[in-house]
Chain A
Amino acid sequence: MSEGMSEHSEIEAVEPGLEFLRPKFEVEGFPWAQVMGYVFSLLLTFAALLLVVYHAMPPILLLAVILALALGQAGLQLGVFMHLREGRGTAWQLLPLGLAFFIAFALIGTSIWIMLFKTGVS
């Protein structure tokens, strides 16, 4: 028994700095936040789909509404699933997040700029 104990204490921990990756099943309860986040994501998606499929409102209003739904969806994903609210000392996940936002907006912005040619030539 003591042999097994000493052997166990010899086990090297996971890589230094990666301790947080170990699941903490004992301390955490049922992941209600994640389940509800999943359900709400689906609701937001189907709401947008149904609004478009049934032409529920005039086009401009429709655009505004699905844009609002998309922003809600993005916030939900970031908050519930992308660990935005979890701090582990330094908040350095904000750097890649900022990069992601920059790239997303740059790509969407330039794509709109590029595709504007249709209004120019037609």
Chain B
Amino acid sequence: MPAFLLYLVHTLFPPDTRQPTELGADFMILVTGIGIVFILTRYQKWRWLWREWLTTVDHKRIAIMYLIAAIAMLFRGGVDALMLRTNLALPNVRPIGALEYNEVFTTHGTIMIFFMAMPFIFALFNAVIPLQIGSRDVAFPRLNAMSYWLFAFGAILFNISFVIGGSPNAGWTGYPPLTEVAFNPGPGESYYFLSLLIAGIGTTITGINFLVTIIRMRAPGMTLMRMPMFVWSVLTTSALIIFAFPPLTVALALSLLDRTFGSSFFTLGHGGMPMMYVNLFWLFGHPEVYIVILPAFGIFSEVVPTFSKKRLFGYTTMVISLVSIMFLAYGTWVHHFFTMGAGPTVNAFFGLSTMLIAIPTGVKIFNWIFTMWGGRIRITVAMLYQMAFIPTFVVGGATGIMLSVVPADYQLHNSYWVVAHFHNVLIGGTVFGLLSGLYYWWPKMFGFILNERQGKVAFWLFVIGFWVTFLPQYLLGLEGMTRRMYTYPFGFGWHELNLISTLGAFIMGAGFLALVYNIVWSLRYGERDLTGDPWNGRTLEWSLPSPAPEYNFARIPVVHGVDEFWAMKESGDTLANHLRPQDVKTLELPKNTGMPFMLGLSFFVGGFGMTFLWWPIAIFGGLGVVACLLYAAFDYNDKKHLPADVIRHTERSWGRLQA
């Protein structure tokens, strides 16, 4: 028995994880965990947690859970970033060693893309899309909950790698042969493959769910060309997800087979082809960057008209450019590995296709500027992020065009110049967009407004910190600093720029703290949104109370044009002032279910078993998955009725029902 325990401790906590930072993290997790359990038990909230949240199929609640996860992961990824920057602040001063540095940049990248940006966009999908298209829910509410729990348990599986068994350390791309079991023993890379596979299933399902929702569930009269631009962006994003995630799934699954069962798809020996992994990964990876940027484009297309008090300039060209970006996104992936040397023809083709994407993107930038032109602009936090986005994203896009020039790429590849470029577009584009959307839709999600003054402090810290961090990195790249270095000697002329960059990273960290303070403060003292329309909005979600009731619309609106709610307000004919009691019908709503949570848990148990090659546990988890799916297939009792009287009562309490 003690031998067994010894084996367990040695496997779960191998010597190289017994570092001060990781023991500190272990301790923090333990304390936080005990704290949460204590509070839930003390205030008898377990039943509430299970009934109201863990089993919910309501898209608005799923949105909130995605958002909480995204902000938590932004914290984790941000702490990783600060560790990386601290290590590079001064030459030869390295608080963390090479191995741990590899682990930290791997988890930083993976978490920020898969477990921060993705849930953040899904939070806004869920919070906004059904309301904007005048629908009571998404097409498949249970699948929606499944998506969330697969994502959540994938994220947990990835995050525990830091404290149990050892983190992945081959970069967020996980290229072979570095991920081969011969060169990278231990559970780290298996954690990476399994958690991304599990979360990837959830993401694919979300893509399908929202594509179907947008195509089939729009309110009567809402033709495709009357959809709000955010809905268009989600439609194109969903299409990208559906076609982009399968290559990733294939690449990860085959790599996992190589590691676990000794196959040789991507191995160096036995006829494997490591570069095929790279090809498949970027077949997913390039559409992925558009998956995270297109929703941001959609958010800006909502924020700009609202705060400029003008219709979006060039609606049709906006749609055309979204759809052409969607198509072009599939045709550029080789620019991530020009230096593989596929030959001049291949590289020239993909260089040109990359440059082409700048055209529709430029159209969008100009359309936003023309929307603001001559508008009555209100400088809110959401609008500030948009105004910071335009110059930032233009710089990021321009440096991207420079990278698409193949000979230049051969010089810049793998340098800090690339690091600066992709942070420029991912933070300047995606994160600014998501934060803009956060401030814009927060009242609709939670029923109160985030304090604007505090929000502006967070904004300035974040944006100034961003430029101080990443502008020096362009110069460092030109001076020859390569990415993923864990330290550097004195005398290369790199130390001043690195110190400035680290300083900027801490300013961004302060911006994050200000954001969290803003949320916590506003939760207690923030202005309540009693009208449901705090920004004088233009689209249907603002026609509902904040937060929207479980059924969203007591009566489904009929849509006559773009900016339907604006037209309603112009004509004085809002949803509320002509809802008569006899218009309200008893509604059929999806019933809460514990199945999605149990399915996620089963995947987690199975994934954990496979990570450590403990087959009984893996098989147990797999059986759990099958059991959950069988239960879901034969559970016919999945609907509940919401009586008309309850709806009438709710609407009357909002003053939205005519006598």
Contacts and interface: CB of A to CB of B under 8 A. Distances in A.
Interface stretch (B314-322, B338-346, B497-505): B338-346
Contacts of B135: 15
Contacts of B628: none
Contact of B247 (A8, A12, A107): A107
A120 interface: yes
B217 A100 contact: no
Nearest to B645: A7
A56 interface: no
A17 B216 contact: yes
Given A12-B585, A111-B283, A117 B330 contact: no
Sorting the interface of chain A by its residue count into under 10, 10 to 19, 20 to 34 or 35 or more gives: 20 to 34
Contacts of A11: 585-588, 641
Interface in B221-260: 243, 247
Nearest to B140: A21
Interface string A89-122: 0000000000010010011001101111110110
B136 interface: yes
A16 B136 CA distance: 12
B575 interface: no
Interface in B171-219: 216-217
Contacts of A115: 273, 275-276, 279, 342
A37 to B, nearest CB: 15
B250 to A, nearest CB: 11
A117 B275 CA distance: 11
Interface residues of B, number: 30
Contacts of B330: 103, 106-107
Nearest to A107: B283
A18 interface: yes
A7 B643 contact: yes
A21 B136 CA distance: 16
B243 A14 contact: no
B313 to A, nearest CB: 29
B334 interface: yes
Contact of A12 (B280, B340, B586): B586
A66 to B, nearest CB: 14
Given A10-B585, A10-B586, A106-B330, A15 B136 contact: yes
B644 interface: yes
B178 to A, nearest CB: 20
Q: Main SS of chain A's interface residues? A: helix
Nearest to B638: A23
A43 B596 CA distance: 30
Contact of B586 (A7, A106, A118, A120): A7
B139 interface: yes
B15 interface: no
B136 A114 contact: no
A114 B333 CA distance: 11
Nearest to A113: B346
A25 interface: yes
Contacts of B35: none
B490 interface: no
B655 interface: no
Contacts of A8: 586
Contacts of A107: 247, 283, 330
Given A11-B641, A12-B587, A17-B216, A23 B636 contact: yes
A15 B586 CA distance: 13
Contacts of B493: none
B220 interface: yes
A33 to B, nearest CB: 16
Contact of B346 (A23, A103, A117): A117
A12 B582 CA distance: 13
A88 B379 CA distance: 50
B342 A114 contact: yes
Contacts of A25: 636
Nearest to A111: B279
Contacts of B273: 115, 118
B136 A117 contact: no
Interface string A3-31: 00001101110111110010101000000
A50 to B, nearest CB: 14
16 contacts: A7-B586, A10-B585, A11-B586, A12-B587, A15-B216, A16-B220, A21-B139, A103-B243, A106-B331, A107-B247, A115-B279, A117-B340, A117-B341, A117-B342, A117-B346, A118-B275
Given A15-B135, A115-B275, A117-B341, 9 more contacts: A12-B585, A15-B217, A17-B216, A106-B331, A107-B247, A107-B330, A114-B279, A117-B343, A121-B341
Q: Closest 7 interchain pairs by CB?
A: A12-B585, A117-B342, A11-B586, A114-B342, A10-B586, A10-B585, A103-B243
Interface of B: 135-136, 139, 216-217, 220, 243, 247, 273, 275-276, 279-280, 283, 330-331, 334, 340-343, 346, 585-588, 636, 641, 643-644
